[in-house]
Amino acid sequence: MAGTGTASEPIDVVPMRMAHLEGVLGLGFQLFDVSKMPYTSWSLSSVAGHLDAQPEACWVAERNGEVLGFVLGSMSFDEREDWGYLEWIGLAPSVQGRGVASRLVEACCQALFEAGAARIITDVEQGNEASARMMRRNGFGEGVTVTLFARPRPDDFGRGRTSHVRSRPYDPARARLRTVARTTGPQAEQ
């Protein structure tokens, strides 16, 4: 039964399975402010897309069946098919600071290297010191810094139109599937 573990019991890091989907999704909603970048693409389809496309790069930290942490990775970053992407990691606050995040990172990175990644990319929000320090300790070094500039629409522009929110946020795992479909589909053979 979920939620029965005590702090003294060990936390296992295991491959993510379908049965973990709900726990991972719920924990992510607790940890990420999905109304703000860079967390707006957190969704059931994003989690399921990772599990579907690269199950070996998706790991869960659990105790007595309770999901306490997760890492979700995939192969390809933007158009680079030889770069792995460690996109999501999160741990319940009650188990942070115990090295569990490093075990999750290691499991995901090993899977991505075995899948052919020449390097692994992750992105860390400015000010997320816990994530930055944990990533540095696990062999990641700072690359280019990108700052998203946002220009809000003035109130008097486009009045009367309903705002359009994409129902399917961009998902690297889904994009990879589309790329594979493009290169192996009937048109690719012509």
Ligand X SMILES: CC(C)(COP(=O)(O)OP(=O)(O)OC[C@H]1O[C@@H](n2cnc3c(N)ncnc32)[C@H](O)[C@@H]1OP(=O)(O)O)[C@@H](O)C(=O)NCCC(=O)NCCS
| Backbone φ/ψ region at 14: left (φ over 0), alpha (ψ -120 to 50), beta | beta
* Residue keyed to tokens 């098919």: 81
Identify which of residues 59 and 88 has a Cβ nearer to ligand X in the complex.
88
Q: Which residues bind ligand X (CB under 6 A)?
A: 31, 88-91, 96-97, 99-102, 128-131, 133-134, 137
CB of 72 to ligand X, least distance (A): 9
Identify which of residues 137 and 182 has a Cβ nearer to ligand X in the complex.
137
Q: Which residues contact 80 (CB under 8 A, 6 or more apart)?
A: none
Task: Please give the angle made by the CA atoms of 134, 87 and 9, to the nearest 5 degrees.
Answer: 55
CB of 83 to ligand X, least distance (A): 17
Nearest to 84 by CA among 97, 70, 74, 71: 74
CB of 13 to ligand X, least distance (A): 13
Identify which of residues 17 and 98 has a Cβ nearer to ligand X in the complex.
98
CB of 178 to ligand X, least distance (A): 24
